[in-house]
A and B are shown apart, each in its own frame.
Chain A
Amino acid sequence: MKNRDGTPLTRAVLLSAVLMAGLLLGACATKPMDPPESLGQARDAIARAEQSDSREYAGSELDAAKQKLEMAETAADEQDMAEAERLAQEALIAAELALARTTAAKAEEVNREMERGAEALTDEMRRKEEQR
C-alpha cells in the first residue's frame, strides 16, 4: 500500500508544490471574480460618444471601442478578469478618443462654415463694389 501510493513525505511535497503554483497564478491575476469597474466606465464613455454623433464623425474609433468592450465582456464572462480589465480600459480610452475626435471635427465644421460666411460677405462686398 505504502509503496504503491508513495511516501507521505513525497505526497506532502507534491501537494505543497501544486498549492504554491495555484497561489502564484492567483497572485498575478486580479483577485475578485466580479466584473471590473472599468467595464461600466467603458460603457458610459461609449454612450457619451454616441450621443455626440461619434458614429458620424469618428466611426472607426467608436467601432474599436465597442469591439474592445465586447471582448472585455467576454473575458469577464470567462472569469479572465485581468484581460477583462485591460480590454475595458482600452474600450474606455478608444471611446474617449472617438469623442475627442468628434469634438475636433465639429469645431472644424463650424470654422469652415464661418469662413464660407466670411467669404460670402467679402464676395457680396466685391459685387456691390462692381455694381458701382
Chain B
Amino acid sequence: MMNRTLSRARRAGAVTALALSLAMLTGCASSPETSPEVSEARKNLQELKNDANLAGRARVETREAEKAVVLAEESLAASDAELAKHRMYMANQKVEIARAKARTDYLEEQRQRLAEEREAERLANRTDEADRARSEAAELQRRMDARDIAEDEREAERLAQRADEANQARSDKAELQRRIDELQAESTERGIVLTLGDVLFTTGSAELQRGGYENLNRLVAFLEAYPERDALIEGHTDSVGATDSNDRLSKRRADSVQSYLVRSGIDRQRLSTSGKGESQPVATNDTAAGRERNRRVEIIIENPQ
C-alpha cells in the first residue's frame, strides 16, 4: 500500500516535470497580446515626425526609435511580460532621445539664425551711427558756414570802415587841397608853400601893408585848422642893394609876418623865421617883373611828421 502510493507520487512528479518542460517550450514562442503603452510610444514617435520644427532632424536616432517601436509592438506571450515591458521601455526612451537630439539640432539652427539677425542688427546700428555722424558733420559744417558768414560780415564791416576812413582821408585831403588852393599855395616836397608877393610891404620897409591882411588871415585860418603843422617863414629880396642889408630886411619882413600871425592867435612855437636875402631868386633880377617876383615872403607849412 505504501509502496504503491509512493510509486504514484513518483509518476505524478514525472508528469509534472514533463508538463513544466512543455510550458517552457511554449514560453519561448509567442501568443497574441498588445500593450497600450506601446501605442503610446508609437504616438510619441508620430508626434515627433509631425512636429514642424523637429521633423527630418536626428534621422539616425529617429530610425533607431522606429525600430524599437516596431520591436515593442511585436506580440509576446503573457509569460514574457518582463521582456515586453523592457522593449516598451527601450522604445519610449529611444523616441525621447530622438526628440532631444532633434531639438538640439533645431536650437543650433535657430542660434545660427539669431547670430545672423544680430549681425544684421549690428550692421543697421552701425549704419545708423554713420548716418548720425554724417548729419552731425553736416550740422557742424552748417555752423562753420554760419560762422564764416559772420566772419565775412565782420570783415565787410572792417572794409567798410576802412573805406569810410579812406573816404574821410580823401575828403580831408580834398579839404586840405581846397584850403591850399584858397591860400593860393602849392604842395611841394618841403610842404605847402605859400608865397606872399611884395605887395605886402612897401619898398625897403618891413611894415605890413593892409592889402596883405586878407592873404595872412587865410593863413591864420589854415594854421588854426591844422594845429599839428608848424610853419617856416622865409623872407626873400631882389638883388638891388647890399647883400647884408637885404639879408636883414628879409629877416625883418619874416619876423613881421610872424608877429602878425602870433597876434592873430597862432602859437609862436610853431612859427620859425629866416631871412634868405637875395640868395634864392625865383626869377631874373634883370627885369622889373623878375625883381618883383623875387621880393617875397614864403611861408612853408610843413607836412605833419
Contact = CB atoms under 8 A, between A and B. Distances in A.
B122 to A, nearest CB: 7
Given A24-B21, A103-B100, A114 B14 contact: no
Best-surrounded residue of A90, A104, A128 (most CB of chain B within 10 A): A104
Contact of B18 (A17, A97, A111): A17
Interface stretch (B40-48, B104-112, B241-249): B104-112
A90 B121 contact: no
A97 B107 CA distance: 17
Nearest to A101: B100
B110 to A, nearest CB: 6
Given A86-B83, A111-B111, A118-B121, A10 B10 contact: yes
A86 B86 contact: yes
A20 interface: yes
B108 A107 contact: yes
A3 B13 CA distance: 17
B121 A121 contact: yes
Contact of B118 (A24, A97, A101, A114): A114
Interface in A1-54: 3-4, 6, 10, 13-14, 17-18, 20-21, 24-25, 27-28
Interface string B75-116: 000000011001001100110110011011001101100110
B28 A27 contact: yes
B239 to A, nearest CB: 98
Interface string A82-105: 010010011001101100110110
Given A86-B82, A86-B86, A100 B10 contact: no
Nearest to A68: B89
Contact of B100 (A20, A93, A104, A121): A104
Interface residues of B, number: 41
A122 B20 CA distance: 76
B149 interface: no
A72 to B, nearest CB: 12
A125 B128 contact: yes
Contacts of A118: 114, 117-118, 121
A89 B86 contact: yes
Contacts of B28: 27-28
A130 B93 CA distance: 52
B118 A25 contact: no
A108 interface: yes
A119 B214 CA distance: 102
A117 interface: yes
A83 B14 CA distance: 29
B304 to A, nearest CB: 64
Counting from the closest, the 4 A-B pairs by CB-CB distance are A100-B100, A17-B17, A107-B107, A24-B24
8 contacts: A6-B7, A18-B17, A27-B28, A86-B86, A90-B89, A97-B100, A118-B114, A122-B121
Given A10-B10, A93-B89, A97-B97, 9 more contacts: A3-B7, A14-B10, A24-B25, A90-B89, A93-B93, A100-B101, A100-B104, A108-B103, A111-B111
